[in-house]
Structure 1
Amino acid sequence: MKFGILLDHQYEPGDDIGRRTGELVEFTQHIRDLGYDSVFGIHHYLSSLSTPQPLPLLSRLIDHSGDMLLGTGILILPLGHPVHWAEEIATIDQMSGGRFVLGIGSGYREDEFWSFQVERRTRVSRMNESLEVMRKLWTGERVIHHGQHFALDGVRCSVLPAQKPHPPVWVGANGPIGIERIARSGLPWLAPSNVRRNWAVGNLNDYRAHRKDAGFSDDDATFPIQRDLCVADSFDDAWAIAGSHARRSYGEYVQYGMDYFESQWEGIKHKALFFGSPDDITAKIQDFASAGYNHFVFRAQWLGLPIERSVEIVDRFAREIMPRFR
């Protein structure tokens, strides 16, 4: 069982990003010393919140992360060119000594696609073709590619990843068609944080069945999921610490058409968040692990929550819960 942390590097507009980055450096050093396995960054452009870009941020954290994996959870692949992504990702994989995990997704925010002059309806085909081109470039051979969205004519990638054939790729998706497509490609599906238990477990069962039908074994496979985490003496105590901050963070998504974070908040609050006592959270992990999940990526930061509270959350998880799974 592996446990990681998703950095929530989203701040009020005008916040001091230099100071916030310093906090994240210290936070990363702390989770490194506590024995966590991975640390991930998020990706958005033109957000209502000040959101530093993940690849520069993760590069800043390389020398402070020990042997933890570093990754994106997720990178919106359709908003960039695969040549750009291939060389950027190969560079950070080399700089980290082969510790990078590429989490990707197709995106959803209309303003991002409109501003990049990318048609939103093409986002899935662009993501899939981008990954195809990147994998070709990472072979180090000359690439000739003439696809629906991209064309290359006998070029080579100037930097190759340290990991061979390339860094692990995890793919995010929230619908059954996308999840089945990921399964049949053999890639890990990164399950989202805000979905209820039965959705997460049911879709993992379907994903694993589709993987098996496509000829892929579960041996040594990664089944990652993101969850919001707050450890306290009880659910009510956890909610008192972080509940208003978590709701405020999720409330930011409503303006992007995700109004169910408002209308269905009570269900999300009780059935999606890993908030509660050490025994409560241990039971939740055991439940999800019995379904097959084996890499939990926890968010312990939300808008306005002091970093000291986040440190207390990851401390208590490492002391009182992590040893039960190691």
Structure 2
Amino acid sequence: MMAALQFTKDQSFVGKVQDSLAEIRAARDAGFDIITMGQHHLVNPFVMPSMWPYLGRLAAEAGDMRLASGVVLSSMHNPVDVAEQVMTMDAITGGRFVCGVGIGYREEEFAAFGVQRGGRLARFLEALEIMKLVWTQDTVDYNGRFWQIPRVEVTTKPIQKPHPPVWIACNADKAVERSGRMGHPWLINPHATVSTVRKQLELFRNGLDEGGHQPPEELPMMRELYLHEDRETAWREAQPFLYAKYQAYASWGQDKALPGDEDFTVPFQQLAQDRFIIGTPEDCVEELRRYRDELGVTTMIARLQWPGMPHEKTLNVIRLLGEQVLPQLV
């Protein structure tokens, strides 16, 4: 599950944090096995907490669930700092942390950090190389295009060896194939249609072959998900919050980061088709089985809450998943 991480400006920041913690506890008790939180900066028109301290707070409620950065924008942050944040989270969770990384796409974020968006791929690759060195080497001496690290001993190490799992989130065809060549699991985004994902999986597998890698043990996928006992009610309740979220994505340029001619401003029913999971618990079971059987998805990360949505509705979705969906997928 994605932690509820964005709120509207008229909602209480303190109150929404407490709501989110209650949702994490409910997910834990319902049998969920992973919690993720993403990273964005300057998220107008919404409010969003900073990822690293929030993940640390979530860990206290997570029980045996894994935690993941979903994702850290590693192309605009210092890789030594990111590596140390990941190692700290790995220790806090007792070796149950997953490092999800992404390249980023919003011009506002790059400008705020004084980073040229045009060099983001090279920065992303160099940052990941440095992070792995910090995690695995006792001594690091690095002279790169963007970062220089004079010879230094590294004494802090992650719990998981050689390092926590790295998932790469990406949207474009070339990026998906590249993640395969790198041998890391592709974290499938929540925005692409299933038909697009199916095509891109072939690119990912081609990349694995080119890189000489075996298929990763996990294929994680993110989806927008809303349930109700009545299908029409599910659609009616989800639409205002989920559609508003995707109109914000459109203003950020997220749809232009996807392959093809994606447009998030189309009517909601058209936007949701082959993209969102909305309906009854039975509908959800059918969809999740399809992703597992047709795509090979092993790990589903569902976002159940969007800015402005009442906390009680999220808790009801968690309850339905725990009582009527998860038992049928074991």
* TM-score calculated relative to the size of structure 1: 0.94
Report Cα offsets for 1:232-267 as digits up to 9, x if no partner. 235422111211110011111222234621136443
Aligned equivalent of 1:280: 283
Displacement after TM superposition at 1:158 (Å): 4.5
Tell me the equivalent position of 2:304.
300
Task: Summarize the alignment of residues 100-249 of structure 1 with structure 2, pairs less than 5 Å apart.
Answer: 100-218=97-215, 221-249=217-245
- Is structure 2 residue 322 aligned with structure 1 residue 318? yes
Of 184-193 and 16-25, deviating more is 16-25
1:136 Cα shift?
0.4
CA RMSD, 1 decimal = 1.6
State the secondary structure of the residue aligned to 2:60: helix
Pair 156,264 (structure 1): closer, same or farther in 2 beyond 3 Å: farther
Gaps of 5+ in 1: none
Change (3 A) 1:205 1:264: farther
Is residue 42 of structure 1 aligned with residue 38 of structure 2?
A: yes
Structure 1 position 73 matched with structure 2 position 76 = no
Letter aligned with residue 283 of structure 2? D
What are the within-5 Å matches in structure 2 for residues 88-103 of structure 1?
88-103=85-100
Mapped to 1, the partners of 2:254 and 2:36 lie a distance apart of 23
**Equivalent residue, structure 2, for 1:63:** 60
Q: What is the aligned-residue identity percentage?
A: 29
Identify the residue that residue 252 of structure 1 maps to in structure 2. 248
Greater CA drift, 308-317 or 150-159: 150-159
For residues 270 and 205 of structure 1, the distance between their equivalents in structure 2, rounded to whole angstroms, comes to: 22
**Cα contact 1:183–1:189 (8 A) shared by 2:** yes
Following superposition, the deviation at residue 216 of structure 1 comes to 2.0
Report which stretch shifted further, 232-241 or 186-195: 232-241
Give the Cα separation in 1 of the matches to 2:51 and 2:20.
12
Which stretches in structure 2 are left out of the alignment for 5+ residues?
A: 256-262
Distance 1:320 1:183 in 2: 35
Aligned partner letter, 1:282: V
Deviation at 1:13?
2.7
Distance 1:262 1:321 in 2: 31
The change in CA–CA distance for 1:292 and 1:26 in structure 2 (over 3 A counts) is same
Q: Secondary structure at the match of 1:228?
A: strand
1:13 and 1:31 map into 2 onto residues whose CA distance is: 26
Does the 8 A contact of 1:193 with 1:226 survive in 2? yes
Three-state SS of the structure 2 residue aligned to 1:102 is strand
